[in-house]
Structure 1
Amino acid sequence: MVSIRERKPVEDIQKVLHYTDLQSKSPTRANDPYDYQPGWGNRHQSELIPGTLPVAQNNPQETRFKLYTEGITYSAFAAPRNANFSTYMYRARPAAAHMGFNSIQSTANIENCFLSNNAAVETLPEQAEWAPFPIPSMPTDFVDGLHTLGGSGDPNLRQGMAQYVYMFTKSMERRAFCNADGDFLFCPQLGTLDVQSEMGMLYVQPGEILIVPRGVRVSIRLGEDSTAARGYVTEVWGSHFELPDLGPIGGHGLANPRDFLYPIAHIDEDLHVPFEIVYKMNGKYCAIEQDHSPFDVLAWHGNVLPYKYDLTKFSSQNSTSIDHTDPSINTVLTVKSHDPNTPLLDFVWLGPRWDVATNSFRPPYFHRNAASEFLACLYGDMSARSDNFQPGGASSDSGHTPHGGFGDEYVYEMQLQENQPRRILENQMTIMVESSRTLLWTEYARKGCGCIRLKGTNPKVWEKLRDNFSADPLAKKLLAIVKEDRKNAKLKREMLLDDSKLQALLNGHD
């Protein structure tokens, strides 16, 4: 009889094949201090004090505690129901009670105009890699530690996207951030983000993502036991993140709707403190000063909300017979473009899973895809892809730039005589932002960060990817035979097209 092994819970979240390895009864990790509401695409509601949320209407003449009703819209008023986004908030003081906008100085490197006539941005036709981005030596918060790497389009045109990296060493205290340009998708790599939003608190760790819709105010703070934070932000303009359609997969799989978590109402204990609210508007920073906290919302209802998702919960799909599947099968979230057949971008998970394709070269084949790719390793050893591809760094491959892996595993894979089922990318997590756009890159990404390395000039690549065909004596003999056969076939074809030669040939057979 086959012995039955005891299933033991995995304690380290970075060593699971899937979240279920934790054998947890909670939808959140053990160190997450907050409560959430589950369910993608719902119109959620929450109230700190029962009875605060108005019943059966949005804007009563008198709210409980004489709160102010404030609405935030994300779409046109008359947008179809499935594309109509708004939230009503019931707060101690309206956001309109402030002291005006002012320009501010910042150490951030923000660039949002990615048009060809902007001399500050350029293409990177080469394959590019960045070593881990440096943590600032001076106290720096999220606002000042945000740096644009590249993008396409312009927020003023409501079309396009931008890719950022952030590095900071202190929390935002009495300071909030509001992106008036587009949606932010946060992907932490180092350190935990303790995020306060107008709708409530969210705790976001490496291996999780956070989406903050355009116009929602947040304070980004360091989580418990984190002294520094580093990660990636993907911004989209004129569109928003959506779950991809599943097609033949059916009703479940990939990122399941129930695993997306939304906050519950929460307010600051002391609301009467000075606050600075930094806006990013058309790619520029400005700020307003006010004498009260913006986090004074006691109740809300709607669907313009921040939310988070744990990437270890991703239900991966794969080939169970032959061939390597396209990365689209690992899409967590997608963003539509004006072309119904081509998304603006896909946010893709590349994590641990089983690989079982038989008689197949299992790693990604060399390719020149139309999409531009930005990859970042969140944790684990990705030296099989490249010696320089490390957690905290990144890489990019522009559309139609030839690329693939140059590691020893590629050579090894071609020599395997029998390929058994195996677990791949164990103890690792990498994300990819794949865009249909040609990305233009900032001066910070090309030079200022000090950690870029352009690929394609390493002679070791030629040693790894040898021309085995030309060295094969059988191949040379076969080429000579093919050449002779084609020559004879050409002569025969020319003879058949020449009536006099054809007649002579036919006379010879009489």
Structure 2
Amino acid sequence: MAGLKYLSGFGNEFSSEDPRCPGALPEGQNNPQVCPYGLYAEQLSGSAFTCPRPTNKRSWFYRILPSVRHKPYTAMHCGSLTEKWDEVEPDPNQLRWLPFTIPKSSEKKVDFVTGLHTLCGAGDAKSRNGIGIHMFTCNISMIDSCFNNSDGDFLIVPQQGEILVTTEFGKMMVEPNEICVIQQGMRFSVDVFGETRGYVLEVYGAHFELPDLGPIGGNGLANPRDFVTPVAWYEDREVATGYTVINKYQGKLFSSQQDFSPFNVVAWHGNYTPYKYNLENFMVINCVAFDHADPSIFTVLTAKSTRPGVAIADFVIFPPRWGVADHTFRPPYYHRNCMSEFMGLIKGHYEAKEEGFQPGGGSLHSMMTPHGPDRDCFEKNSTAPLKPERVAEGTMAFMFESSFSMAVTKWGLETCQRLDKSYWQCWEPLRKHFDPNWRPRKQ
């Protein structure tokens, strides 16, 4: 498998060529009359041609055959992948799902694409403004097929089982506690090594980027140097039985056939690439005096909207860290929010919900729906000695947060049969502590 190389920062220029073909990258221009090795030049644009230079995204491929050589697209079955946000009536309740079921390969063979299920989302891919949250549960690798998302970017969060992602840029092995981002229009295929499960955050019309650091300064949160992108790798392989290119377009799936592997890029350069990141490299910034810092301080990547400071989607994690705040209820506070919050758990136990919220499951707290710690968490942390302690050791929870009011799909509410209908009861035991005779202690 080809290696990986570190990104030095988002927006910078990168280049790579398969070591089997030294000099495959043209020198001095992008599109020479004749490319080295008789390759075809092809550009992949992730932004309008006229975007300002800091936001202009494009990469050049030098490939054995261009991607245009394929048969016409035809509609295919979408399964549980959808953009129909009105399948069921809106539900503002706190929602929690048990770990999503992975099909047994002996009963049903499911690859990454057929195992995609839309849980919730909002907006519209046609107008390039919105998001989708999906689960993937699969048990076999994609065979002679690849996926291409014309609607937006995929942020993939494996939870169980590692995945080998082959892209036009090269290969990436992505394990639980790592993420990868496949940006709009990039073709990729997923190999698995057994029963595999994970989460996908899809954004339309924006790309993920590092959040601004503001008063934090030049260092902290996710450091650019810890993101890695593939090294060029190609296969010159003819597929007599047909290679299937699956295209997600305007919320629907289409397929086309070609007689060669699409992973035939010998060299590439540009600033529009897939990449991966190890969540253990996140540099936590946290409170060292009193009160509980807002969860935005844990943002790894953001997809900005046109409103300053408001995201289409944020990817936020809650990694192991030290809790040292004095005179403070340290877990998350009770809260109502103008954002929608979907939470997932990769491993361990989430500090505010040690029971019920399980790895491979999820929860959704919609706009202005109250949420917060359950009774046991509140009682325990109201009387706990406030000494420095490790928080979330051995765990990794995350949140997809969005300014969109998300609708839950029929699959999420009914078909998957994993909805925890007793979730609301975790707050029922909260009891009244009010004492009208209370007076502050005299010092």
User: Smaller-chain TM-score range?
Assistant: over 0.9
Counterpart amino acid of residue 313 in structure 2:
L
2:263 and 2:88 map into 1 onto residues whose CA distance is: 37
What does 1:100-249 align with in structure 2 at a 5 Å threshold?
100-105=72-77, 108-114=79-85, 119-137=86-104, 138-222=108-192, 226-249=193-216
1:162 and 1:35 map into 2 onto residues whose CA distance is: 28
1:299 and 1:87 map into 2 onto residues whose CA distance is: 11
Contact 2:6 2:225 in 1 (8 A): no
1:35 aligns with 2:4: yes
Partner of 2:289: 321
Measured after TM superposition, the shift of residue 35 of structure 1 is 2.9
- How many percent of aligned residue pairs carry the same amino acid? 42
Partner of 1:494: none
- Of 263, 269, 274, the residue aligned with 1:306 is 274
TM-score, with normalisation over the residues of structure 2? 0.94
Counterpart amino acid of residue 408 in structure 1:
D
1:191 and 1:449 map into 2 onto residues whose CA distance is: 21
Measured after TM superposition, the shift of residue 271 of structure 1 is 4.2
Partner of 2:235: 268
Contact 2:2 2:232 in 1 (8 A): no
2:14 and 2:88 map into 1 onto residues whose CA distance is: 41
Could you give the per-residue CA deviations for residues 383-427 of structure 1, whole angstroms, max 9, x where no partner exists? 7505221001000100110110114232021123x4100001000
Measured after TM superposition, the shift of residue 75 of structure 1 is 1.0
Structure whose alpha-carbon radius of gyration is higher? 1
Partner of 1:61: 33
1:148 and 1:213 map into 2 onto residues whose CA distance is: 18
Contact 2:74 2:255 in 1 (8 A): yes
Measured after TM superposition, the shift of residue 122 of structure 1 is 3.9
Contact 1:160 1:236 in 2 (8 A): yes
Contact 1:113 1:155 in 2 (8 A): no
1:37 and 1:383 map into 2 onto residues whose CA distance is: 33
Could you give the per-residue CA deviations for residues 426-468 of structure 1, whole angstroms, max 9, x where no partner exists? 000011011111101110011111000245642x6333x2111
1:435 aligns with 2:368: no
Could you give the per-residue CA deviations for residues 358-392 of structure 1, whole angstroms, max 9, x where no partner exists? 11111111111111100000011337505221001
By percentage of residues, which structure has more helix?
1
SS at match of 1:404: coil
TM-score, with normalisation over the residues of structure 1? 0.82
- Of 433, 436, 440, the residue aligned with 1:468 is 433
Partner of 2:372: 404
Counterpart amino acid of residue 127 in structure 1:
Q
Partner of 1:51: 23
1:271 and 1:253 map into 2 onto residues whose CA distance is: 47
2:197 and 2:423 map into 1 onto residues whose CA distance is: 28
1:374 aligns with 2:353: no
Counterpart amino acid of residue 53 in structure 1:
L
Measured after TM superposition, the shift of residue 38 of structure 1 is 2.8
1:70 aligns with 2:42: yes
Contact 1:113 1:153 in 2 (8 A): no
2:188 and 2:88 map into 1 onto residues whose CA distance is: 29
Give aligned pairs, total: 433
Contact 2:111 2:139 in 1 (8 A): yes
Cα distance change of structure 1 residues 39 and 271 upon mapping to structure 2, 3 Å threshold? farther
- Of 91, 95, 111, the residue aligned with 2:67 is 95
Could you give the per-residue CA deviations for residues 204-234 of structure 1, whole angstroms, max 9, x where no partner exists? 0100010001000000111xxx311100000
1:84 and 1:77 map into 2 onto residues whose CA distance is: 7
What does 1:285-304 align with in structure 2 at a 5 Å threshold?
285-304=253-272
Q: What is the alpha-carbon root mean square deviation over aligned residues?
A: 1.8
By percentage of residues, which structure has more strand?
2
Cα distance change of structure 1 residues 384 and 329 upon mapping to structure 2, 3 Å threshold? closer
Contact 1:37 1:264 in 2 (8 A): no
Contact 2:2 2:171 in 1 (8 A): no
Counterpart amino acid of residue 398 in structure 2:
I
- Of 318, 332, 336, the residue aligned with 2:304 is 336
Counterpart amino acid of residue 46 in structure 1:
S
Measured after TM superposition, the shift of residue 272 of structure 1 is 4.6
SS at match of 1:312: helix
Partner of 2:247: 279
1:393 and 1:33 map into 2 onto residues whose CA distance is: 33
Could you give the per-residue CA deviations for residues 77-104 of structure 1, whole angstroms, max 9, x where no partner exists? 1111011111110100011111211222
Counterpart amino acid of residue 80 in structure 2:
N
Measured after TM superposition, the shift of residue 121 of structure 1 is 4.6
Counterpart amino acid of residue 474 in structure 1:
N
2:428 and 2:129 map into 1 onto residues whose CA distance is: 40
Contact 2:178 2:279 in 1 (8 A): yes
Partner of 1:394: 362
Partner of 1:12: none
Structure 1: segments with no counterpart, 5+ residues? 1-31, 479-510
